[in-house]
Chains A and B, each alone.
Chain A
Amino acid sequence: EDKVVQSPLSLVVHEGDTVTLNCSYEVTNFRSLLWYKQEKKAPTFLFMLTSSGIEKKSGRLSSILDKKELFSILNITATQTGDSAVYLCAVAPYNFNKFYFGSGTKLNVKP
Chain B
Amino acid sequence: GAGVSQSPSNKVTEKGKDVELRCDPISGHTALYWYRQSLGQGLEFLIYFQGNSAPDKSGLPSDRFSAERTGGSVSTLTIQRTQQEDSAVYLCASSLNGYSYEQYFGPGTRLTVT
Contact = CB atoms under 8 A, between A and B. Distances in A.
A84 B98 CA distance: 32
A45 B45 contact: no
Contacts of A44: 105
B45 A96 contact: no
Contacts, number: 63
A60 to B, nearest CB: 21
B62 interface: no
A21 B59 CA distance: 27
B102 interface: yes
Contact of B98 (A34, A88, A96, A101): A96
Interface of B: 4, 31, 33, 35, 40-45, 48, 50, 56, 58-59, 89, 91, 95, 98-103, 105-108, 110
Given A96-B31, A100-B45, A102-B42, A43 B105 contact: yes
A86 to B, nearest CB: 9
Contact of A45 (B4, B31, B102, B106): B102
Interface residues of A, number: 25
A99 B42 contact: no
A48 interface: yes
A95 B41 contact: no
A98 B105 contact: no
Contacts of A64: none
Contacts of A97: 48, 50, 56, 98
Nearest 4 Cβ contacts at the A-B interface: A101-B42, A41-B108, A101-B43, A42-B105
A20 to B, nearest CB: 19
B44 A95 contact: no
A102 B35 CA distance: 13
Interface in A67-111: 88, 90, 92, 95-104
